[in-house]
Homo-oligomer: A and B are copies of this chain.
């Protein structure tokens, strides 16, 4: 086992029962007592703590903006980045296959374990302590929250993601519109031009439905990236 003392120093919390931290570091490929239950708990405490933070830091912003701010902070890539900053990967317990294929550098495994660590801290202490650990690790990001104008919407981010890999821009098409006035539902398809991939978004306006379809496509593209290791 690696030096969990140093890791506890990094996150600013010393475990009463270090077995909980060990469980948080154990990927399901490595054994029976793995980190997925702790990840479930940690995901929800993280979401709440970050919701609290953006709510109090952005008193004039709408629910939509708060949601986007939070989503930017708790998504896989932010979690993986924080995990890398505190060298979480070197403490991971992985099974043989994941070990050989570089699982300790993979975004998804790092992000899941980071959430599990938050869950383990909460379980080992209390809500206030978990909130302190989370806000401590998130401090630089919380203190530089983007302004709404630079907070990019899903269509913009999808366009940039495709351009960065020299792929053609997506097409959007309204599939149907239902319902009475003021209660209309638009369904819009987002389709990539160089593959058979399509996603559908639904909302009360065409613009919002396009954004949702783009968001779904972003998730698909993210899920596809082989290994998605970048660290």
- Flag the segment in A4-12, A48-56, A75-83, A153-161 that touches B: A48-56
Q: Are B36 and A44 in contact (CB under 8 A)?
A: no
A231 part of interface (Cβ distance < 8 Å): no
* A176-B196, A185-B223 known; A51+B41 contact, CB < 8 A: yes
The DSSP consensus for interface residues of chain A is helix
Max chain B C-beta neighbours (<10 A), residue from A52, A175, A179: A52
Known contacts: A45-B48, A175-B196. The answer to whether A185 contacts B67 by CB under 8 A is no
When the two chains form their complex, are residues B223 and A202 in contact, meaning their CB atoms are under 8 A apart? Answer: yes
Asked if B67 and A55 sit within 8 Å, CB to CB, the answer is no
- A198 near B200 with CB under 8 A, answer yes
Contact B220 A202 (CB under 8 A): yes
Q: Is A23 an interface residue (CB 8 A)?
A: no
Q: CA of A108 to CA of B186 in the docked complex: distance in angstroms?
A: 17
Taking a contact as CB atoms under 8 Å apart, the answer to whether B40 and A185 are in contact is no
**Contact B48–A36 (Cβ < 8 Å):** no
Q: How many residues on chain A are close to B (CB under 8 Å)?
A: 40
A39:B63 contact, CB within 8 angstroms: yes
Which chain B positions have C-beta within 8 A of A202? 220, 223
A63 and B47 in contact, given A179-B226, A185-B224 (Cβ under 8 angstroms): no
Partner of A37, one of B66, B182, B226: B66
Contact B36 A40 (CB under 8 A): no
Closest 9 CB pairs of A and B: A44-B51, A36-B63, A48-B48, A44-B48, A40-B63, A40-B66, A41-B55, A127-B127, A44-B47
Q: Would you mind naming 22 contact pairs between A and B with Cβ atoms under 8 Å apart? A: A37-B55, A37-B61, A37-B63, A37-B66, A40-B63, A43-B51, A44-B51, A44-B52, A45-B51, A47-B47, A47-B48, A48-B48, A97-B182, A127-B128, A175-B196, A179-B224, A179-B226, A183-B226, A185-B223, A185-B224, A187-B197, A198-B200
